[in-house]
Amino acid sequence: MPELPEVETHIVELRPLLEGRRVEGASVFWPRTIAEPDPDRFCDLIRYRRFGELQRRAKYMLLGLDAGWTLVVHLRMTGTLRVVPSDRKMDRHTQVVLGLEGGEELRYLDLRKFGRFWLVRDADRVLPSLGPEPLSRHFTGRWLHGALARRQAAIKAVLLDQSVGAGVGNIYADEALFRARIHPERPAASLTLKECQTLCRTIRHVLRTGIAWRGSFVSSYEPPSGVPGRFQARHQVFRRTGEPCPRCRTVIERIRVGQRSTHYCPACQQVSV
């Protein structure tokens, strides 16, 4: 699933292609993609709307439109948005098309069809409960320490809770925990304030580095430009099972935490408190 850096890359690449451009028409090929309103109403409402500011909130894209509308997009597992010439052959995984002035189209491609669109006036109404942005000044070690208090679940699972780690997913949770030397199965409430401060810093570091390298190219994810991100070459533990730890040379192991594959170094990340 695209995580914060991949969604941020989407926004950065789409801004110069969409901001200020008018939607000339819309077609929906997979009705379930449109969560709100119904697909026919969606096509009517978005036609002749003009794109304004494009923003990101956690893993959600907020595509501003005129007249107070916002197109909220969640890419889920395999979604991607691309701006292409309208005469380009349609990919068989295209689910939604927005015709743009100037002879181009914004196409939404989604192999597994899990992504969702909401066309609404109040984006907050359709967003889930989200914690502070990890790259904002509100995401601090002290805030994280308070958020983890009384949470006995494994820290890896808690970080994937978007009310705590807004925008953090499997890749960046593994990478941040490794850099903080915290075992992914540690009870979240057992982390000290100092450990939370360290973890806060490593979360920020891996997210910023991920953005700088335009995200991780894994599975079927690609950014709008079609040029893969390169952060996967800098993964230290994620999908490195059986390889030597870059810090101590112990073999990296894979376990399951909260039904999610988790990668860690058993020497650098001790489970004992």
Instruction: Give catalytic residue positions.
Output: 2-3, 59, 260
In contact, 193 and 155? CB cutoff 8 Å: no
CB-side exposure of 50: number of CA atoms within 13 Å?
7
In contact, 200 and 170? CB cutoff 8 Å: no
Give the 3-state secondary structure of residue 226: coil
List CB contacts of 262: < 8 A, sequence separation 6 or more. 156, 170, 174, 184, 254, 255, 256
Give the 3-state secondary structure of residue 192: coil
What torsion do the CA atoms of 110, 115, 119, 121 make, to the nearest 10 degrees?
-140
